[in-house]
Amino acid sequence: MMDPMRVVVTGGRGALGSQVMSALSAMGHEAVSASRRSGVDVASGAGLDRVLDGAEAVVHTADTVNPRSYAAVTLGGTRHVLDAAARQDTPPHVVTISIVGVDHHPYSYYRAKRGAEELVERSDQPATLVRATQFHSLAALFARLGRIGPIAMGLRGMQLQPVDIGWVGRRLAEIAVGPRPDGPARGPDLTGPDRFDLTELTRLVSEHAGRTPPRILALPAYGAIMTAFVDGAILPGPDAEIGGERFAQWLARQPKRLRGR
């Protein structure tokens, strides 16, 4: 049995962060959430030095979906976490989460996530960069977005390989308490077992809601962002680690009326 470790989770009350917190606690470690509600703001760096004091690892999940805050939170937050970790007498292992396929994707959030990855890659400290595909709840949101009454619009040829957020949280926890790299390292790309056409996901989500499956209007991609999605930029490669609950199992546990992302 490994000695209990103190692990800070930025965004520890968020969707992914709370899964990391539960996994760490279940493994017998001390999990400490750091977010604005606990007085830590990664955008300004406030509170980070204090909360990282004595931490052996930090899992950085805090982020934003507000495009106006990508520079401050997605990029600035990652920089502040790395800098605060580097200031500790023994810098904690920094584990960050990004998204599969952000390399050359023109979508602004993905560009910001790639920028955050580059900060990790250029840092000279123990850090592991993990990527995941879309969580099941986000894939279900994609499937609901295009529906207007009996018709669902979708991008022709767009595919997704969604993943179980609980499993991603467990893997991040395991990586955080696992071997500490000497410098920046690339962790696994995490994905789920099933690959779907968006139209198939739309059908599954409609059936779950007890609605007549919509007539699918498969539209061609228009512009660089849609083209990147249709061209499979967000699909995992052959080396990705596959695990977690299947999309259908996840869907069966959801209320009929799906909400959120």
Ligand X SMILES: NC(=O)c1ccc[n+]([C@@H]2O[C@H](COP(=O)([O-])OP(=O)(O)OC[C@H]3O[C@@H](n4cnc5c(N)ncnc54)[C@H](OP(=O)(O)O)[C@@H]3O)[C@@H](O)[C@H]2O)c1
Which secondary structure element, helix H or strand E, spans residue 56, and what is its range? none
Could you say which of 7, 8, 9, 17 contacts ligand X (CB under 6 A)? 17
Decide: is 36 part of the binding site for ligand X (CB under 6 A): yes
Residue 96: CB minimum distance to ligand X, A: 8
Task: Name the residue whose CB lies closest to ligand X.
Answer: 14
Could you say which of 51, 62, 94, 233 contacts ligand X (CB under 6 A)? 62
Could you say which of 22, 64, 88, 254 contacts ligand X (CB under 6 A)? 64
Within the chain, strands assigned E span 6-10, 30-34, 57-60, 93-99, 127-132, 147-148, 151-155, 159-160, 184-191, 196-197, 215-219, 241-242
Decide: is 68 part of the binding site for ligand X (CB under 6 A): no
Within 36-92, strands assigned E span 57-60
Q: Which stretch binds ligand X (CB under 6 A): 12-20, 142-150, 202-210, 232-240?
A: 12-20
Residue 10 CA to residue 148 CA, distance in Å, equals 37
Query: Can you say how many angstroms the Cα of residue 4 is from the centroid of all Cα atoms in its chain?
Result: 25
Q: Are 34 and 71 in contact (CB under 8 A)?
A: no
Q: Which stretch binds ligand X (CB under 6 A): 6-14, 145-153, 198-206, 233-241?
A: 6-14
Question: What are the CA-CA distances from residue 16 to residues 137, 152, 236, 252, 261 (Å)?
Answer: 11, 29, 19, 20, 12
Q: Which stretch binds ligand X (CB under 6 A): 29-37, 51-59, 226-234, 239-247?
A: 29-37
Could you say which of 9, 20, 24, 73 contacts ligand X (CB under 6 A)? 73
Q: Are 78 and 96 in contact (CB under 8 A)?
A: yes
Question: What are the CA-CA distances from residue 189 to residues 3, 115, 178 (Å)?
Answer: 28, 17, 17
Q: Which stretch binds ligand X (CB under 6 A): 61-69, 87-95, 205-213, 230-238?
A: 61-69
Total residues contacting ligand X (rule CB under 6 A)? Answer: 27
Mask of contacts with ligand X, 110-139, x by CB under 6 A?
---x------------------x-xx--x-
Burial class of 53 by CB neighbour count within 10 A (0 to 12, 13 to 18, 19+): middle
Which residue's CB is nearer to ligand X, number 21 or number 152?
21
Which residue's CB is nearer to ligand X, number 214 or number 234?
234
Query: Tokens for 26?
Result: 């279940």
Binding site for ligand X (CB under 6 A): 10-11, 13-17, 35-37, 40-43, 61-64, 73, 77, 97, 99, 113, 132, 134-135, 138
